[in-house]
Amino acid sequence: MATLVRQEGAALLSHWRQQVKQLSSAQHLETPALNDHIPHFLEELANALQSQSRETIPEALEGSSPPAHGLQRLQEAFDLEEVVAEYNILRGCIHDLAEKNGLSLQGEPFHIMNRVFDQAIGLAVQTYATERALEVQRRREEYLAFVAHDLRTPLNAISLATRVLEVTFREPSERAESAQMLKTLGRNVQHLQRLVDKIIEENINLRTETGIKLERREFDLWPLVEALIHDLRPVAGTGSTQLINEVPHHLVLYADASLLRRVFQNLIANAIKFTPRGKVLIK
Protein backbone atom coordinates (compact mmCIF):
# COMPACT_ATOMS: atom_id res chain seq x y z
CA MET A 1 0.00 0.00 0.00
CA ALA A 2 2.87 2.37 0.76
CA THR A 3 4.27 1.82 -2.75
CA LEU A 4 0.85 2.45 -4.32
CA VAL A 5 0.40 5.73 -2.42
CA ARG A 6 3.77 6.94 -3.69
CA GLN A 7 3.27 5.75 -7.28
CA GLU A 8 -0.26 7.13 -7.60
CA GLY A 9 0.36 10.26 -5.53
CA ALA A 10 -0.43 12.71 -8.36
CA ALA A 11 -3.65 10.93 -9.34
CA LEU A 12 -4.64 10.60 -5.69
CA LEU A 13 -4.17 14.35 -5.13
CA SER A 14 -6.14 15.17 -8.29
CA HIS A 15 -9.05 12.98 -7.16
CA TRP A 16 -8.91 14.55 -3.69
CA ARG A 17 -8.85 18.14 -5.05
CA GLN A 18 -11.98 17.50 -7.13
CA GLN A 19 -13.91 16.60 -3.98
CA VAL A 20 -12.33 19.18 -1.66
CA LYS A 21 -13.23 21.94 -4.16
CA GLN A 22 -16.83 21.41 -3.08
CA LEU A 23 -15.96 22.93 0.33
CA SER A 24 -16.88 26.63 0.25
CA SER A 25 -13.54 27.84 1.64
CA ALA A 26 -11.57 25.79 -0.91
CA GLN A 27 -13.35 26.93 -4.06
CA HIS A 28 -11.18 30.02 -4.65
CA LEU A 29 -7.82 28.32 -3.98
CA GLU A 30 -5.35 27.52 -6.73
CA THR A 31 -3.74 24.06 -6.82
CA PRO A 32 -0.54 24.88 -4.82
CA ALA A 33 -2.55 26.52 -2.00
CA LEU A 34 -5.16 23.77 -2.06
CA ASN A 35 -2.53 21.04 -1.86
CA ASP A 36 -0.67 22.89 0.90
CA HIS A 37 0.96 20.21 3.13
CA ILE A 38 -1.11 17.27 1.87
CA PRO A 39 1.67 15.89 -0.42
CA HIS A 40 3.99 15.83 2.62
CA PHE A 41 1.29 14.11 4.65
CA LEU A 42 0.94 11.40 1.99
CA GLU A 43 4.66 10.74 2.22
CA GLU A 44 4.38 10.54 6.02
CA LEU A 45 1.50 8.08 5.61
CA ALA A 46 3.51 5.97 3.17
CA ASN A 47 6.44 5.89 5.63
CA ALA A 48 4.13 4.74 8.44
CA LEU A 49 2.62 2.01 6.25
CA GLN A 50 6.06 0.88 5.18
CA SER A 51 7.46 0.76 8.73
CA GLN A 52 4.43 -1.24 9.98
CA SER A 53 4.90 0.30 13.44
CA ARG A 54 1.87 1.87 15.11
CA GLU A 55 3.81 2.83 18.25
CA THR A 56 5.95 5.40 16.45
CA ILE A 57 3.07 7.21 14.68
CA PRO A 58 2.37 9.93 17.33
CA GLU A 59 6.07 10.76 17.62
CA ALA A 60 6.51 10.74 13.84
CA LEU A 61 3.63 13.16 13.26
CA GLU A 62 4.37 15.48 16.21
CA GLY A 63 6.76 17.69 14.23
CA SER A 64 5.34 17.02 10.78
CA SER A 65 2.80 18.50 8.37
CA PRO A 66 -0.59 18.42 10.20
CA PRO A 67 0.10 21.35 12.63
CA ALA A 68 1.39 23.54 9.78
CA HIS A 69 -1.58 22.51 7.64
CA GLY A 70 -4.05 23.45 10.39
CA LEU A 71 -2.43 26.86 10.77
CA GLN A 72 -2.46 27.47 7.03
CA ARG A 73 -6.15 26.57 6.78
CA LEU A 74 -6.94 29.04 9.58
CA GLN A 75 -5.20 31.78 7.59
CA GLU A 76 -7.24 30.77 4.53
CA ALA A 77 -10.50 31.13 6.51
CA PHE A 78 -11.40 27.43 6.60
CA ASP A 79 -13.61 26.43 9.51
CA LEU A 80 -12.78 23.45 11.71
CA GLU A 81 -15.36 21.21 10.07
CA GLU A 82 -13.72 21.81 6.69
CA VAL A 83 -10.25 20.99 8.06
CA VAL A 84 -11.55 17.67 9.38
CA ALA A 85 -13.54 17.04 6.19
CA GLU A 86 -10.56 17.38 3.84
CA TYR A 87 -8.60 14.74 5.79
CA ASN A 88 -11.60 12.40 5.73
CA ILE A 89 -12.05 13.01 2.00
CA LEU A 90 -8.41 11.99 1.52
CA ARG A 91 -9.00 8.89 3.62
CA GLY A 92 -11.90 7.96 1.32
CA CYS A 93 -9.76 8.61 -1.77
CA ILE A 94 -7.13 6.17 -0.50
CA HIS A 95 -9.79 3.51 0.05
CA ASP A 96 -11.00 4.11 -3.53
CA LEU A 97 -7.42 3.81 -4.82
CA ALA A 98 -6.88 0.53 -2.97
CA GLU A 99 -10.15 -0.92 -4.25
CA LYS A 100 -9.39 0.20 -7.82
CA ASN A 101 -6.07 -1.67 -7.67
CA GLY A 102 -7.54 -4.82 -6.16
CA LEU A 103 -6.20 -4.22 -2.66
CA SER A 104 -8.23 -4.65 0.50
CA LEU A 105 -7.39 -2.34 3.38
CA GLN A 106 -7.69 -4.74 6.28
CA GLY A 107 -5.70 -5.80 9.29
CA GLU A 108 -2.50 -3.94 10.19
CA PRO A 109 -2.43 -1.53 7.19
CA PHE A 110 -6.04 -0.53 7.94
CA HIS A 111 -5.27 0.20 11.60
CA ILE A 112 -2.07 2.10 10.78
CA MET A 113 -3.78 4.26 8.17
CA ASN A 114 -6.66 5.15 10.49
CA ARG A 115 -4.27 5.92 13.33
CA VAL A 116 -2.19 8.22 11.08
CA PHE A 117 -5.31 10.06 9.90
CA ASP A 118 -6.81 10.36 13.39
CA GLN A 119 -3.54 11.68 14.79
CA ALA A 120 -3.16 14.12 11.90
CA ILE A 121 -6.69 15.46 12.36
CA GLY A 122 -6.08 15.89 16.09
CA LEU A 123 -2.85 17.82 15.56
CA ALA A 124 -4.29 20.02 12.81
CA VAL A 125 -7.40 20.84 14.86
CA GLN A 126 -5.36 21.53 18.01
CA THR A 127 -3.08 23.98 16.19
CA TYR A 128 -6.04 25.65 14.46
CA ALA A 129 -8.03 26.06 17.69
CA THR A 130 -5.06 27.29 19.73
CA GLU A 131 -4.07 29.91 17.18
CA ARG A 132 -7.67 31.09 16.77
CA ALA A 133 -8.02 31.48 20.55
CA LEU A 134 -4.80 33.51 20.65
CA GLU A 135 -6.08 35.72 17.82
CA VAL A 136 -9.33 36.37 19.70
CA GLN A 137 -7.31 37.26 22.79
CA ARG A 138 -5.07 39.64 20.81
CA ARG A 139 -8.08 41.40 19.33
CA ARG A 140 -9.66 41.72 22.78
CA GLU A 141 -6.48 43.23 24.21
CA GLU A 142 -6.18 45.68 21.32
CA TYR A 143 -9.83 46.69 21.65
CA LEU A 144 -9.58 47.24 25.41
CA ALA A 145 -6.40 49.28 25.02
CA PHE A 146 -7.95 51.34 22.22
CA VAL A 147 -11.14 52.10 24.17
CA ALA A 148 -9.40 52.83 27.45
CA HIS A 149 -6.71 55.11 26.09
CA ASP A 150 -9.08 56.92 23.74
CA LEU A 151 -11.39 57.63 26.68
CA ARG A 152 -8.63 58.81 29.00
CA THR A 153 -7.65 61.91 26.97
CA PRO A 154 -11.17 63.46 26.72
CA LEU A 155 -11.83 62.53 30.36
CA ASN A 156 -8.70 64.44 31.38
CA ALA A 157 -9.94 67.42 29.36
CA ILE A 158 -13.37 67.29 31.04
CA SER A 159 -11.77 66.95 34.46
CA LEU A 160 -9.49 69.95 33.94
CA ALA A 161 -12.31 72.03 32.49
CA THR A 162 -14.48 71.15 35.51
CA ARG A 163 -11.79 72.34 37.93
CA VAL A 164 -11.39 75.61 36.02
CA LEU A 165 -15.15 76.22 36.15
CA GLU A 166 -15.24 75.36 39.86
CA VAL A 167 -12.66 78.08 40.50
CA THR A 168 -14.74 80.50 38.41
CA PHE A 169 -17.97 79.82 40.28
CA ARG A 170 -16.44 79.51 43.74
CA GLU A 171 -17.18 83.03 45.07
CA PRO A 172 -20.58 84.29 43.88
CA SER A 173 -23.32 82.84 46.10
CA GLU A 174 -25.96 83.33 43.40
CA ARG A 175 -24.20 80.69 41.32
CA ALA A 176 -24.62 77.97 43.92
CA GLU A 177 -26.78 75.86 41.62
CA SER A 178 -24.11 75.92 38.89
CA ALA A 179 -21.46 75.03 41.44
CA GLN A 180 -23.53 72.04 42.59
CA MET A 181 -23.91 70.83 39.01
CA LEU A 182 -20.16 71.08 38.54
CA LYS A 183 -19.56 68.99 41.64
CA THR A 184 -21.92 66.32 40.28
CA LEU A 185 -20.08 66.46 36.94
CA GLY A 186 -16.75 66.14 38.73
CA ARG A 187 -17.89 63.06 40.68
CA ASN A 188 -19.08 61.36 37.51
CA VAL A 189 -15.84 62.16 35.70
CA GLN A 190 -13.85 60.65 38.58
CA HIS A 191 -16.05 57.55 38.43
CA LEU A 192 -15.41 57.19 34.68
CA GLN A 193 -11.68 57.70 35.21
CA ARG A 194 -11.63 54.89 37.80
CA LEU A 195 -13.46 52.62 35.35
CA VAL A 196 -10.95 53.43 32.58
CA ASP A 197 -8.03 52.83 34.95
CA LYS A 198 -9.56 49.47 35.94
CA ILE A 199 -9.91 48.43 32.28
CA ILE A 200 -6.28 49.36 31.62
CA GLU A 201 -5.12 47.53 34.75
CA GLU A 202 -7.06 44.38 33.86
CA ASN A 203 -5.70 44.48 30.31
CA ILE A 204 -2.14 44.84 31.59
CA ASN A 205 -2.68 41.94 34.03
CA LEU A 206 -4.05 39.76 31.22
CA ARG A 207 -1.08 40.54 28.99
CA THR A 208 1.31 39.88 31.89
CA GLU A 209 -0.24 36.46 32.53
CA THR A 210 -0.07 35.44 28.87
CA GLY A 211 3.20 37.19 28.10
CA ILE A 212 3.60 40.64 26.54
CA LYS A 213 5.01 40.55 23.05
CA LEU A 214 7.26 43.55 22.54
CA GLU A 215 7.37 44.80 18.97
CA ARG A 216 10.68 46.63 18.86
CA ARG A 217 11.73 48.74 15.90
CA GLU A 218 13.74 51.88 15.15
CA PHE A 219 11.78 55.15 15.12
CA ASP A 220 12.28 58.90 15.63
CA LEU A 221 11.15 60.05 19.07
CA TRP A 222 10.46 63.71 18.20
CA PRO A 223 7.47 63.03 15.87
CA LEU A 224 5.95 60.64 18.44
CA VAL A 225 6.12 63.33 21.16
CA GLU A 226 4.89 66.02 18.76
CA ALA A 227 1.83 63.92 17.87
CA LEU A 228 1.07 63.43 21.57
CA ILE A 229 1.35 67.17 22.20
CA HIS A 230 -1.11 67.79 19.38
CA ASP A 231 -3.57 65.30 20.90
CA LEU A 232 -3.21 66.67 24.43
CA ARG A 233 -3.22 70.37 23.53
CA PRO A 234 -6.99 70.73 24.16
CA VAL A 235 -6.47 69.26 27.61
CA ALA A 236 -3.56 71.59 28.34
CA GLY A 237 -5.49 74.59 27.03
CA THR A 238 -8.17 74.28 29.72
CA GLY A 239 -5.54 74.99 32.36
CA SER A 240 -3.48 77.39 30.24
CA THR A 241 -0.58 74.96 30.31
CA GLN A 242 2.08 75.16 27.58
CA LEU A 243 3.46 71.94 26.11
CA ILE A 244 6.94 72.25 24.64
CA ASN A 245 8.69 69.50 22.69
CA GLU A 246 12.45 69.72 23.32
CA VAL A 247 13.28 66.19 22.21
CA PRO A 248 16.26 66.31 19.77
CA HIS A 249 15.11 65.92 16.17
CA HIS A 250 17.87 63.38 15.45
CA LEU A 251 17.10 61.09 18.42
CA VAL A 252 16.34 57.54 17.21
CA LEU A 253 15.15 54.81 19.58
CA TYR A 254 14.90 51.05 19.27
CA ALA A 255 11.83 50.12 21.31
CA ASP A 256 8.13 49.27 21.23
CA ALA A 257 6.67 52.55 19.92
CA SER A 258 3.12 51.72 21.00
CA LEU A 259 4.04 51.00 24.62
CA LEU A 260 6.36 53.99 24.78
CA ARG A 261 3.60 56.25 23.44
CA ARG A 262 1.33 55.14 26.30
CA VAL A 263 4.06 55.87 28.85
CA PHE A 264 4.61 59.39 27.47
CA GLN A 265 0.86 60.02 27.26
CA ASN A 266 0.37 59.18 30.93
CA LEU A 267 3.41 61.22 32.01
CA ILE A 268 2.37 64.30 30.01
CA ALA A 269 -1.27 64.06 31.15
CA ASN A 270 -0.12 63.93 34.79
CA ALA A 271 2.23 66.85 34.23
CA ILE A 272 -0.64 68.91 32.78
CA LYS A 273 -2.82 68.06 35.75
CA PHE A 274 -0.26 69.39 38.27
CA THR A 275 1.03 72.35 36.21
CA PRO A 276 -1.87 74.79 35.66
CA ARG A 277 -0.83 78.01 33.91
CA GLY A 278 2.72 76.70 33.62
CA LYS A 279 5.03 74.96 31.13
CA VAL A 280 5.59 71.27 30.55
CA LEU A 281 8.90 70.54 28.84
CA ILE A 282 9.40 67.18 27.18
CA LYS A 283 13.08 66.50 26.56
Q: What is the pLDDT of residue 178?
A: 66
Of the residues 89, 119, 136, the one at which a domain ends: 136
- Among candidate residues 191, 152, 167, 186, the one with its CA nearest the CA of residue 269: 152
In a shared domain, residues 122 and 229: no
Does 33 map to a domain?
yes
**Other C-beta atoms within 10 Å of 126: how many?**
13
Asked if residue 9 lies in contact with residue 39, where contact means CB atoms within 8 angstroms, the answer is yes
In a shared domain, residues 25 and 123: yes
Asked if residue 242 lies in contact with residue 234, where contact means CB atoms within 8 angstroms, the answer is no
Q: What is the pLDDT of residue 245?
A: 92
In a shared domain, residues 127 and 221: no
What separation in angstroms does the CA of 52 have from each of 47, 87, 89, 97?
Answer: 9, 21, 23, 20
Residue type, 73: R
Does 30 map to a domain?
yes
CATH of the domain at 218: 3.30.565.10
Which H or E run contains 116?
helix 107-168
11 Cβ contact partners less than 8 Å away, ≥ 6 residues apart: 97
Does 145 map to a domain?
no
In a shared domain, residues 123 and 242: no
Give mean pLDDT in consecutive 10-residue pieces for the chain, a chain of 283 residues. 83 87 87 86 83 56 74 86 89 87 79 85 87 81 70 69 65 60 70 72 60 72 88 72 90 85 82 84 89
E strands, 5-134, are none
Does 186 map to a domain?
no
In a shared domain, residues 8 and 127: yes
The total number of structural domains in the chain stands at 2
199 Cβ contact partners less than 8 Å away, ≥ 6 residues apart: 144, 147, 148
Q: What is the pLDDT of residue 246?
A: 92
Q: What is the DSSP letter of 29?
A: -
Q: What is the pLDDT of residue 80?
A: 85
Q: What is the pLDDT of residue 234?
A: 72
Does 207 map to a domain?
no
CATH of the domain at 16: 1.10.490
Of the residues 97, 113, 136, the one at which a domain ends: 136
- Domain containing residue 220: 214-283
Does 198 map to a domain?
no
Torsion of Cα atoms, 157 then 161 then 162 then 164, to 10°: 140
Does 259 map to a domain?
yes
Does 9 map to a domain?
yes
Of the residues 113, 136, 159, the one at which a domain ends: 136
In a shared domain, residues 124 and 219: no
In a shared domain, residues 125 and 226: no
pTM for the structure as a whole: 0.52
